[in-house]
Structure 1
Amino acid sequence: MKKLSLISSALLVAASFSFTVPASAQVTLTDADRARIEERKNRRTTLPGERVGRGVTRAFELYNEEKVDEALKVLLEIRGGSDFDNAFLARFIGNLYATKDPKQAIKYLEQATKPDLLSFTDQASSLKLVADLQSMENMHRDAIKNYEAWIRFTGENDPDVYLRIANAYYQLQEYQKVLTPIDNAIRYAREPNRQHYMLKMGALYESRNYPKTIETVETMVQLFPEERQFWVYLANFYTLVEDYQKSLSAFQIAYNNGYLELESELKMMGQMYANNNIPYKAATIYEKYLKSGKIKKDRTMLAAVASNFQAAREFAKAAQYYGELAALTNEADAYRRQGFAFMSIQRYNDAIKAFEAALARDSSNSGRVHMSMVDAFLNQGKLREAYASLQQAKRDSTTARQANSYEGYIREKARVKGITL
C-alpha cells in the first residue's frame, strides 16, 4: 500500500471531518500585518538538532509500516536541545495523535505553534489542523480563535477557513455572528458554493430574519436552478411572510420541473392554490395524488379535496368526496355536507338520504338538517314529507322561527292542491 507522508496523512484526517454548513469570519489586516507576514515567509529555515532529526526519521519509518504507536513512543522519548527542537518535535507528535487521539493532538499542536518558531508552512498547517481538531471535538470557540490566528498568520482569505469559522458560530447558535464570515466565504470562493448559501439561509432563518432569508434563497435558485430542494425552500419561506402568490409561483416552477417529490410538498402546493382562491386546482392536485397514493387518503385530505371542489362549485365531485369522508369517519357532519352538495345539483333524493344519515348519527344540529330536508321535499313537490320535517325543525330553538315562517306557505300550498297534511 502506498504510504502518505505524515503531514498529508494528518491533514487528510482533518479534512475528513464533516462540515455540513459553510463558515467565515473577517480578520482585518493592516499594512504592518502584511509586512510582518512577508518577513515571516522569508525567515531563514531552521533545522532540528541531530538527535531530533534521527528520531523523526525513525518515526517516519515506523509510521510507513503502519506502526503508529511505536512511532509515537520513539518521538515521546526524545528531548529536544532547543525551543525550536521542542516545537518541531511537538508538531510531529501532534500530527501522529491526530489519527487516533484528537485531544492529545490538540495539546501537542498548541505546544508546537505557541512560540511561532516553525517554518512558515509548518506553522500555518499546524494552526489549521489544531482548529480542525477542535471543531471535531466541539471546542468551537477555541477553533474560531485558531482559524482567525491562521488568517492573521498567512494573510490569506481562504473561503474554506471562513466556512469553518461560520460553522463554529452556527454550532454555538450565535447566528448573527455567522453572517459576516459566510459572506466572506461567498465573496472569496472561486465559484458559487451551495454550502455557503445553505449556511447563510440557515443562520438568517434561525435569526427570524425572514425577508433576508427569502432574498438569499432567491439568489440560490438563480445560481443553482437544478437544486429541487431550493425551490421548495423558497416556496415555503414565502408563506412565512404570507406572500402566497409568490409561494404558489415557486411551487408551480418546482412542480413543472418534476421537483416536488414528497407528500408534504404536494399538499403544500395544493394549499397554496386554495390560499390564492384557485380551489379547482387545489382539489384536482389533491385528487390526482390521492389516487396515485402519493398523498395518504385520510380524514384531513378527504375533507380538503371535498371542500375545495365545493368552493369551485364542482358539487358532484364535492358530494363524492364528502361521501368517502363519511364512509371513512362515520361523522354526521360529512353526511350533512354531502347532502348540501347534492342539493346544489338538484339530486334531492340523494340529499335526503345523506341528511337522514346525518340525523341518525348526531341530533345536535338537527334543526338545520330538517330545514334542508324541507327544501329538498318541497323541490320534489312532496308536501306531506316537507311538513313532517318542518315539525321536527320547529322543535329546535335555532330554527323554530324559520320553520314557523314556512308553515303557512306549506299549508296554503297543500290546500290549493287538495292535500291533507
Structure 2
Amino acid sequence: MLKLKKLTSALVIATALTVTATSVTAAVQPNMAKVEERKARKTQIVGERVGKTLVKAFDLYNEEKLDEAIAVLLDVNSNNEFDTATLNRFLGNLYATKDEKQAIKYLTLAVKPDVLTFNDQALSMKLLADMLLQDKQYQKAIKAYEDWIMFTGEQNSDAYMRIANAYYLMNQHDKVIAPADDAIRFSPKPTEGPYQLKMAALYELKRYKDLVAVVETMVQLFPENKQFWVYLGNFYTLTEEYSKSLSTLQLAYSQGYLEKDSEVRMLAQMYANNNIPYKAATTMEKHMKSGLVKKDKNNLNFIASNYQTAREFLKAAEYYGELAKMTNDADAYRRQGSSYLAIQRYNEAIAAFDKALSMNVDKPSGVYMSLVDAYFYQKKYKEAYAALMNAKKDPAMSRQVRSWESYIKDKAKQKGVSL
C-alpha cells in the first residue's frame, strides 16, 4: 500500500488547484428569511370528519389493504383547503407505492396551495420530485427539486445529485457539471456518485483534461475502488499522457486491481506504446498462460511482434509459429522465418519461408530474397541462386537482385559450385 499512498499523495497536489478554484456559490439560492417565516407559521389541524377518514385509511394501509385505504380517501371531500391538501398528500403517498402518475397528480394538488405544515409540505415536495424523476419527467423533476431547496433552505447533496442525473438522462451534459459540483460540496462526506456523473458528462463533452482531473480526484478520495484506477489509466491516453497511463496501470496491477482480460491487455498495450516491448510481450504471455487473456490471433500476434521488437527473436518465432498454426496464415510463417533468420537458425527459417511460399504469401519475391540470405550464409550457393532467380521475376526487386547476383556467382565459382 506504500506505493498507493505515494501516488494518491501526488494526486492531491495535482488536483489542489482544481479543488480550490471551485465556486462556492450554489446553483439554488434560497431566501432564508422566508424559510424561517414558513417554519414559524401557525400549525393547522384537520377537521373531525377528515381526521377520522385519515385514521381509517392509515389502519387499512397497516393491514396491507392499500386499495381499500385509497378508496376510503377518495370517498371523502372537504371545502377546507388545508383538509383537502392533507387528503391529497396521503393519497400521493399511498399511490407512490403503486402508480407514479397518480402519485404525481395528488402530490401536485397537495403542495400547490402551500398550506401544509412546514415538514409535511417539504416531504411532499421532495416525494413529488422523486416521482417525477422516476416517471422520466426530467425537466419537471429538476424544477421540483429546486423548488424544494428554495422552500426548505436545505442545500442537500442528494437533491443536487438527482438534478445532475436528470440533466445527464436528458443528454444535457453541459448542465450536469454545476449540480454535480454542488452535490460534492454539500455532501457531509465524499461519495462516489456525483464524481461518476461528472466524469461521464465530461467524457461525453470530450473535455478530456477536465475529465482526467476529476478522475485523479476520484482515485485520491476512493483509492480502494479498482475501477477508478482503470478509468484513470485509460483516460490518460485521451490526453496523450502515455507515461502517466502506464504508471497508473502499473500501480493498479501491483495492487491486484487489474482483473479483466481487457484491463491486462490495456496494460500490455501501454508498455508497447511506451517503447517497452519486452514487458508488453511478457505481461500478455503470462496472463495468456494463466487463462485470463484469451489465446486468439490478435493476442498471439501482439506477443510475437513485441518479442520481435525487443529482439527476442526465438520467442518471437515461437509465437509466430503458434499464430501460423492457428490461422493457417502465410504471412505468419514469413514472420516466423524472419525471426529465425535474425538469430541464424537457417534451417528453421528456410522451412518457415517455404511454408509461406506454399501458401501463396503476398509479395513472394520478398520471401525469396530472405531465402537467398538463409541459403547463402549456409554456403548453399546453388539454392541461394535459385531463390534469387525467383525473386528476379519481380521487377521491383531488380536492384537487390543485381547486387546479389554477381556476388553469388563469384562465391560459387571460388568454391567450385556449378549454378
The verdict on a shared fold, with TM-score over 0.5 as the criterion, is yes
Per-residue deviation at 1:203?
Answer: 1.1
- Once residues 214 and 362 of structure 2 are traced to their aligned partners in structure 1, the CA distance between those partners, rounded to angstroms, is 52
In the alignment, structure 1 residue 290 sits paired with structure 2 residue 288:
yes
Q: Would the alpha carbon gap of residues 89 and 227 (structure 1) be closer, same or farther in structure 2, given more than 3 Å must change? A: same
Deviations 1:355-377 (A, max 9, x none): 10111011541211111111111
Deviations 1:240-260 (A, max 9, x none): 111111110111011000000
In the alignment, structure 1 residue 147 sits paired with structure 2 residue 154:
no
In the alignment, structure 1 residue 346 sits paired with structure 2 residue 347:
no
Question: Could you tell me which residue of structure 1 aligns to residue 62 of structure 2?
Answer: 64
Q: The residue matched to 1:398 in structure 2 has which SS? A: helix
Q: Indicate the structure whose relative CO is greater, using CA pairs within 8 Å and at least 6 residues apart.
A: 1
Deviations 1:296-346 (A, max 9, x none): 111111111000000000000000001111111111111111111001110
Q: Would the alpha carbon gap of residues 51 and 363 (structure 1) be closer, same or farther in structure 2, given more than 3 Å must change? A: closer
TM-score by length of 2: 0.92
Per-residue deviation at 1:402?
Answer: 1.4
Q: Could you tell me which amino acid in structure 1 is paired with residue 28 of structure 2?
A: V
Q: Could you tell me which amino acid in structure 2 is paired with residue 26 of structure 1?
A: A
The 5 A counterparts of 1:252-263 are: 252-263=250-261
Is the 1:49–1:81 contact (alpha carbons within 8 Å) kept by the matching residues of 2?
Answer: no
The 5 A counterparts of 1:126-165 are: 126-165=124-163
Is the 1:51–1:80 contact (alpha carbons within 8 Å) kept by the matching residues of 2?
Answer: no
- Once residues 130 and 417 of structure 1 are traced to their aligned partners in structure 2, the CA distance between those partners, rounded to angstroms, is 98
Question: Could you tell me which residue of structure 1 aligns to residue 28 of structure 2?
Answer: 27
Is the 2:331–2:362 contact (alpha carbons within 8 Å) kept by the matching residues of 1?
Answer: no
Question: Could you tell me which residue of structure 2 aligns to residue 236 of structure 1?
Answer: 234
Gaps of at least 5 residues in structure 1 are 1-23
Is the 1:205–1:213 contact (alpha carbons within 8 Å) kept by the matching residues of 2?
Answer: yes
- Once residues 271 and 63 of structure 2 are traced to their aligned partners in structure 1, the CA distance between those partners, rounded to angstroms, is 66
- Once residues 358 and 309 of structure 1 are traced to their aligned partners in structure 2, the CA distance between those partners, rounded to angstroms, is 21
Q: Would the alpha carbon gap of residues 179 and 363 (structure 1) be closer, same or farther in structure 2, given more than 3 Å must change? A: closer
Deviations 1:192-225 (A, max 9, x none): 0011211111111111111111000000111111
Q: Could you tell me which amino acid in structure 2 is paired with residue 258 of structure 1?
A: G
RMSD: 1.2
Question: Could you tell me which residue of structure 1 aligns to residue 248 of structure 2?
Answer: 250
Q: Could you tell me which amino acid in structure 2 is paired with residue 416 of structure 1?
A: Q
Per-residue deviation at 1:155?
Answer: 0.4
Deviations 1:10-58 (A, max 9, x none): xxxxxxxxxxxxxx972123xxx21111111011101111111111111
Is the 2:128–2:144 contact (alpha carbons within 8 Å) kept by the matching residues of 1?
Answer: yes
Question: Could you tell me which residue of structure 2 aligns to residue 359 of structure 1?
Answer: 357
- Once residues 363 and 159 of structure 1 are traced to their aligned partners in structure 2, the CA distance between those partners, rounded to angstroms, is 64
- Once residues 359 and 96 of structure 2 are traced to their aligned partners in structure 1, the CA distance between those partners, rounded to angstroms, is 71
Question: Could you tell me which residue of structure 2 aligns to residue 97 of structure 1?
Answer: 95
1:386 aligned to 384, 387, 408, which one? 384
- Once residues 275 and 112 of structure 1 are traced to their aligned partners in structure 2, the CA distance between those partners, rounded to angstroms, is 62
Question: Could you tell me which residue of structure 1 aligns to residue 176 of structure 2?
Answer: 178
Deviations 1:258-290 (A, max 9, x none): 000110111111000000000000000111111
- Once residues 136 and 25 of structure 1 are traced to their aligned partners in structure 2, the CA distance between those partners, rounded to angstroms, is 25
Question: Could you tell me which residue of structure 2 aligns to residue 198 of structure 1?
Answer: 196
Per-residue deviation at 1:392?
Answer: 1.0
Gaps of at least 5 residues in structure 2 are 1-24
Q: Would the alpha carbon gap of residues 363 and 281 (structure 1) be closer, same or farther in structure 2, given more than 3 Å must change? A: closer
In the alignment, structure 1 residue 301 sits paired with structure 2 residue 328:
no
113-122 or 57-66: which moved more? 57-66
**Count of equivalent residues:** 395
